[in-house]
Structure 1
Amino acid sequence: MRDSLWLVPLLCLLSGIGLCIATAAIDRAAGTALVPHWVTGGPAAAQSVLSTIVTSLVTLITLVLTVITVAVQLAMAQFSPRIVGALLRDRRSQLTHGLFAATLVYALLAIPQVDDVAAGGDGYMPGLTMLIAYLLMLASIVVLVLYVHHAGQTLRVAGLIDLVGDHLHEELHRVYPADAGAQAAPDPQVVTAPTPGVVVRIDVPGLVDAAAAADCSLQLVPAMGDFVCAGAPLFLVAAGHGARLDPRVAGLVTLGNERSYPDDPAYGFRQLVDIAERGVSSPFDDPTTTVQAIDRLHDALRQLATRTIPTGEHLDHDGIVRLTTPALDWTGYVRLTFDELRLAGASSPQVARRLRAALEDLQTVVPGTRRPELDRQLELLTLGVKKSFESDRDVINALTADQQGLGSGPDLVRDMDRRQDDRSREADMHLRPS
């Protein structure tokens, strides 16, 4: 019953029946209108509103259940057939369905309570019953918007992984409760993560101020985008008096369910590399998509080529290093961009040509200290292409720099010198006697 989808909606439906009976009894016992007439309207308007609520909710419930069924099937096909249990146990979804069912049955039972011919033609209006119906409908609209957001977040890869992981976390605590006596005393020189998650934001000014107030230096253990287990080291107190460090300092590092853009530019590289690598993998085999992703990776590295990349050391107002964070350097960005694509795309002439064009162009703009990693990538690309093709001509073709992959390389486009030579040969042919 704990894993069933129907139990919570059924209980909510029964609650809606009981609520309608209770409010109708209160209205009849009061004998007078408990709610102003301008709030509920007349009996005829109330019946029309209740009928609209019933019709709308029947359509809404049918649509939501259909979408959920399709979403579960897609999740089972794309991720795992065993993911359906976690989706059915999602309490937010169950409560949403229950609210819709409770509102539907409440409005359905409230319609007979409204009498437009009683009391000498003025009709009978159960004010409290109508007010609750309006509130339930308003709540259903708000919950529908929140539910769409929740469903969209849940059906993402990170959402499904977190959904299963959270259930696993709960089961571990239930089946294997922690022994308080066996736990070691907390180390004052280590600040641990209160919950599991991915580092998505670091409040650098707040951490610097906290370290300065405690007269210590903090070293952030995970890098931006790293996953941190609950209870794993988050900070190391590198120097000073860690005992006076505010224990709430862990809250200055935001942990989410997946990486995000605002403070993590490497995540943009990661997504483009994923798209590019997917394009050259089976069963997609779409190297043109890979080339389009490489275009944007090339542009991003070109923008970064001459810019200063922070070292990860953060100073206070007195120039003392108070916070040290892992920071990706130029070599890290280049390897993030090319390592996987070079291995996956070496056997595709289109991808190999585009990668070589990007690397050779970057060599022309980077400072000398940043060239070695580009030279290394070019050397490894050449070795990978030679291993992928047996014919020397194919190797030469795949190692020709081309901004379009196949379409704008020097072996495909006539330059000015070649055009002049072609015109000279054509002129000689016309002047030559037949």
Structure 2
Amino acid sequence: MLSPLREHLRDTFWFAPIASMAAVFVLWLVSSELDEAIIRFLQEEQDYDAVTELIGIVEDAKTIVTTISSAMMTFIGVVFSISLVAVQMASGQFSPRVVRIFIRSRITKATFSVFLATFLLSLLVLTSYDSETDPRYVSTVPLVQSVLTVLMVGLSLLLFVAYVNSTLRLMRVGHVVDRITWEAFGVLAKQPQYAGELGDLGEATEHVLHRGRAGVLRDVNVALLVRLARRHGVVLRLLPRIGDFVVPGTPILAVYGGRVPRRIGAAVSVGVERTFHQDLGFGLRQLADIGLRALSPAVNDPTTAVQALDRITQFLAAVANRPLGAVHHRDGKDTVRLVQDVPGWTDLVDLGFTEIRGCAPGNPQVSRRMLAGFDDLLSLVPADRRAPLLRHRTLLTQLVERTTPEAADRAFALEGDRQGIG
């Protein structure tokens, strides 16, 4: 139940700052009680000299806290504005889908959360200062609160350095494609190993229709669907694939062997864009987008396309011998309860190479890297998976031969090279 919710919250930018401000409010309440307890203890011991000394220390700290509260919000605004410019540049250079890397970045969320929490804490601490200066009657001296504020400022500065480094890395194509590939491998690692043909399930006894808004199928609550299927003694099949666009009235689940309640459709999540949570092909989609944009006349950056092809080849090599085409989710008794279609080997190869291959003519660096990738993959895959690779290799060769008039240029463009032009 918590896994889809956690992933959806990671795709938002509001949850972490709000949670941090709620946490710092609780921290302020605790520290305020501690300050009052310290003063009560000293007054009960009649150690008024110590109370007077604390009042002096806190009065000096009040100047620092006041400065923090006035400067922190301005600092947040400037940093956030610079960040939006950096993200806009990265999305324009690589792909609009890289914005989600910024949104999901833990260091980005942690930085803004701590900044806002520090600002809120400084305001709360200022309300705790007592106008009474007589050590016999003062009710609180916010010593602990002031120390916490200074510590939060120190943490903010450290996070700011890490945040600037993270934002600058977002503008480097090597980091972007590496991050996308890392997330794609994370999806692959979560995929169950039960794949292949299940056998004849017979005719579907019921179809569950999508009743929500139109949008992209982001993910499904697998645990809930398996539990409901086991309870009703049925097998469910997810009809659209993760990443498909669905509209109201679209059949989303086929039921075999019985009936299920209508509320089962709530286990399917639809949103405005694809996510990495369960979408096996989304990583290749982003890498292909980066490579395709790099080869557009407006950008004309074949080296970036080669870097994208490096990662496409890496991902396809990782799934070269992995069962694909369907995922079987089983219950505690090892009975298949949910069948979920995933992209097959041909689908992944086409997704990774088709669009970039169409832009390869005139870019020998790209055609040479793609041919080297085909050679590497052909040496890894079993015989029954060689056909789509050979098809793309043949189409690429024919395309280069048609568009390159000089024989020497054709020979050069059709020679495999892992660096493109090494």
SS at match of 1:235: strand
Q: Which residue in 1 is equivalent to 2:57?
A: 45
Deviates more, 1:53-62 or 1:383-392: 383-392
Decide which of 138, 141, 156 is 1:125's aligned counterpart.
138
| Mapped partners of 1:100, 1:206: distance in 2 | 40
Q: Which residue in 1 is equivalent to 2:242?
A: 224
Decide which of 266, 271, 275 is 1:250's aligned counterpart.
266
TM-score (norm 2): 0.59
| Mapped partners of 2:256, 2:289: distance in 1 | 40
SS at match of 1:219: strand
| Mapped partners of 2:263, 2:364: distance in 1 | 56
| Mapped partners of 2:301, 2:222: distance in 1 | 42
Deviations 1:60-118 (A, max 9, x none): 122112123334556677879xxxxxxxxxxx9xx99998777666656765x445xx4
Query: What is the identity, as a one-letter code, of the residue corresponding to 1:343?
Result: G
TM-score (norm 1): 0.57
| 8 Å Cα contact 2:291/2:305 also seen in 1 | yes
Deviation at 1:333, TM superposition (A): 0.9
The structure whose Rg is larger is 1
In structure 2, list runs of 5 or more residues that go unmatched.
1-33, 42-50, 93-108, 171-205
Deviates more, 1:274-283 or 1:369-378: 274-283
Query: What is the identity, as a one-letter code, of the residue corresponding to 1:250?
Result: A
Superposed CA RMSD in Å reads 4.9
Note the 1:293-332 alignment, pairs <5 A: 293-314=308-329, 322-332=337-347
Decide which of 50, 68, 76 is 1:64's aligned counterpart.
76
SS at match of 2:281: helix
Deviations 1:109-133 (A, max 9, x none): 765x445xx43xx376342x84997
Decide which of 376, 386, 398 is 2:413's aligned counterpart.
398
| Mapped partners of 2:379, 2:117: distance in 1 | 63
Deviates more, 1:259-268 or 1:292-301: 259-268
Deviates more, 1:188-197 or 1:384-393: 188-197
- The count of aligned residue pairs is 321
Deviations 1:220-254 (A, max 9, x none): 2332234556x565732433443x43725633x55
Larger RCO (CA under 8 A, 6+ residues apart): 2
Decide which of 259, 264, 269 is 2:284's aligned counterpart.
269
Query: Kindly, what percent of the aligned residue pairs are identical?
Result: 27
Q: Which residue in 2 is equivalent to 1:359?
A: 374
Deviations 1:186-210 (A, max 9, x none): xx84253657775555444542331
Note the 1:150-165 alignment, pairs <5 A: none
| 8 Å Cα contact 2:372/2:418 also seen in 1 | yes
Q: Residues 39 and 328 from structure 1, CA distance in 2 versus in 1: closer, same or farther, beyond 3 angstroms?
A: farther
| 8 Å Cα contact 1:346/1:388 also seen in 2 | yes
| 8 Å Cα contact 1:61/1:100 also seen in 2 | no
SS at match of 2:376: helix
Deviations 1:267-309 (A, max 9, x none): 3323332333333334443323322332232233233223322
SS at match of 1:402: coil
Q: Which residue in 2 is equivalent to 1:235?
A: 252
| Mapped partners of 2:341, 2:375: distance in 1 | 29
Q: Which residue in 2 is equivalent to 1:172?
A: none
Deviation at 1:391, TM superposition (A): 2.5
Deviations 1:150-182 (A, max 9, x none): xx99xx9xxxxxxxxxxxxxxxxxxxxxxxxxx
Note the 1:281-292 alignment, pairs <5 A: 281-292=296-307
Q: Which residue in 1 is equivalent to 2:364?
A: 349
Q: Residues 66 and 248 from structure 1, CA distance in 2 versus in 1: closer, same or farther, beyond 3 angstroms?
A: same
Is residue 389 of structure 1 aligned with residue 407 of structure 2? Answer: no
Deviation at 1:377, TM superposition (A): 0.8
Deviations 1:411-434 (A, max 9, x none): xxxxxxxxxxxxxxxxxxxxxxxx
| 8 Å Cα contact 1:214/1:245 also seen in 2 | no
Q: Which residue in 2 is equivalent to 1:182?
A: none
| 8 Å Cα contact 1:313/1:324 also seen in 2 | yes
Deviation at 1:52, TM superposition (A): 2.0
Decide which of 389, 410, 420 is 1:374's aligned counterpart.
389
Query: What is the identity, as a one-letter code, of the residue corresponding to 2:355?
Result: E
SS at match of 1:57: helix
| Mapped partners of 2:386, 2:89: distance in 1 | 45
Q: Residues 287 and 204 from structure 1, CA distance in 2 versus in 1: closer, same or farther, beyond 3 angstroms?
A: same
| Mapped partners of 2:357, 2:371: distance in 1 | 10
| 8 Å Cα contact 1:197/1:256 also seen in 2 | yes
Q: Which residue in 2 is equivalent to 1:419?
A: none
Query: What is the identity, as a one-letter code, of the residue corresponding to 1:360?
Result: D
| 8 Å Cα contact 1:216/1:238 also seen in 2 | yes
SS at match of 2:323: coil
Deviations 1:17-45 (A, max 9, x none): xxxxxxxxxxxxxxxx9932348973123
SS at match of 1:247: helix
| 8 Å Cα contact 1:210/1:249 also seen in 2 | no
Q: Residues 108 and 315 from structure 1, CA distance in 2 versus in 1: closer, same or farther, beyond 3 angstroms?
A: closer
Q: Residues 105 and 329 from structure 1, CA distance in 2 versus in 1: closer, same or farther, beyond 3 angstroms?
A: closer
SS at match of 2:235: strand
| 8 Å Cα contact 2:35/2:142 also seen in 1 | no
